[in-house]
Amino acid sequence: MNKRFSIHGPMTCGQSEAQERTYKLITGKTGRRWLVAIQPNEADNVYCEGGPNSDGFGGATLTFKLDDGTTIALAGPWHSNADSLFDDTGYDCRDKYTSLGIIGLGRESDWNKGDLYKEVLHYDKKPVIGNFDRIEKLAQEKANELGKEIFYSVRTSGGGCSWCCQPKGAFVSREEGKRPGETSDPGDPNFNVVELI
């Protein structure tokens, strides 16, 4: 089966999106205050205060509604992520990102119509809540299982990307294809190259 998929989604206003939800307030071990949206996909809307002269959201002051009915105004807060939240607070919502993805054995790029994926191995018909890198991990599993290069795209609330991955242990000589922590030495347990398309 072939299927078209675009990494491009609708434009959103970050300030408006941040201020339209209701949040739980969590204080981290650093003393930083974190806001986590009360919704099934909590990880999509995690914000933290940036401190004096912070430039998050261009330095604007945003007012957030809290679950106790009060509000909190933060100057220059940052849209953050579930990993940083977990590291500072111990609050775990790392498996609560929304994403939409596709995985196939081939891809033809077309910016106007969306990329054409050939021999589709996986396709999300609707957004799925899970880990941020669930599509990447599934694509890597497929590449390892089939011993072939696999193409994939993913779209999240923060944007989208298209990549391809090689089967673990495949020899790839191009150094620029490496990701942090990976090597081009097939004997190294971290050997695995994923290229940005």
Least confident of 2-6, 106-110, 117-121, 167-171: 167-171
43 or 12: which carries more pLDDT confidence?
43
List the one residue out of 101, 85, 14, 87 whose CA is nearest residue 43: 85
Q: Using CA atoms, how far apart are residues 176 and 184, in angstroms rounded to an integer? A: 10
Grade residue 19 by pLDDT with cuts at 50, 70 and 90: confident
Per-residue pLDDT at 108 = 87
pTM, two decimals, is 0.76
Per-residue pLDDT at 179 = 44
Grade residue 143 by pLDDT with cuts at 50, 70 and 90: very high
Q: Using CA atoms, how far apart are residues 39 and 23, in angstroms rounded to an integer? A: 9
Per-residue pLDDT at 184 = 44
Over residues 47-85, the pLDDT tens digits come to 999 888 889 989 999 999 999 999 999 999 999 999 999
